[in-house]
Amino acid sequence: MANNKNTWLITAERFIAYFDIMGFKSMIKTGKLPDLYKKFMTLIKTNIKGNRRSRITYYIYSDLIVVVTQDSSQDSLKQLLEASVKITNQILNLDWGVSGSIAKGKLVFDKHNQIFLGQPVVDAYLAQEDVEFYGIVICDSAVDDVKKYLSDVKSKRITKHLVNLLKEERLHFKTGYYSQYHLCWFKYFYNEKGPTHPYYIRNTTDEHVKQKLEVMCQNTKGKARRYIENTIELLNKN
């Protein structure tokens, strides 16, 4: 059951998303910390903080962004999905990449002390660690909820831009090449000139994403390049 809109219980069924920013460590070595701080704050204010009705909050540790929902309601899931797509797109616009995951379950979350405890934390971390492309995979614990939400969206004809967000297909992981549900973040784009709603996104072509990735690929070597190549392959399939 969903909580009161202003209540954040320490222990509750909720969703959690892990985002690992690729290439961030090299940026630390060569970049200016105040500039990186400004970029992070812009990212957070635009995509996560939202307004008083926001059902998501965040925690940042170096190159890791953790986003947690207030509960397991559809409103919470909607905000998390839209924020995930926007975060991935905007990180790419900063010439970084991101690998991520979304899990669900009983989670202890102490906002004040920034404490995370529970199986979803483990699930999200392990899933994200295995991803070998720029994208967001859905853990088994959250797949049914995401599928149900998107099915309801389609039947009710609301927030239609999310209908084609979820897809199951073969993806590149460090442990192999196999089928998994993931978010098609590259088919959506945050419209800065659009409505002022904090989670507004719209359908777009993915050409701008491909062009960005191709430039990044030319300037990247080693393991990091493999992530980009795998992402380009994924876009070409879609």
Reported as a single tens digit per residue, the pLDDT across 78-102 is 889 988 988 888 888 878 889 999 9
| Cα dihedral 216/220/187/133 (nearest 10) | -170
Reported as a single tens digit per residue, the pLDDT across 1-52 is 445 566 889 999 999 999 998 877 777 776 667 777 777 777 666 666 555 5
Reported as a single tens digit per residue, the pLDDT across 108-142 is 998 888 888 999 999 999 999 999 999 999 999 99
CATH classification of 11-237 is 3.40.109.10, yes or no?
A: no
pTM of the model: 0.86
Reported as a single tens digit per residue, the pLDDT across 174-219 is 999 999 999 998 877 554 444 334 334 444 556 778 888 999 898 8
Please choose, from the candidates 70, 91, 75, the residue with its C-alpha nearest in 3D space to the C-alpha of residue 16. Answer: 70
Tell me how far CA of residue 43 lies from CA of 10, 36, 83, 84, 159, in angstroms.
Answer: 26, 11, 10, 11, 23
Residue ranges of domains in the chain: 11-237
Beta bridge partners of 64: 20, 61
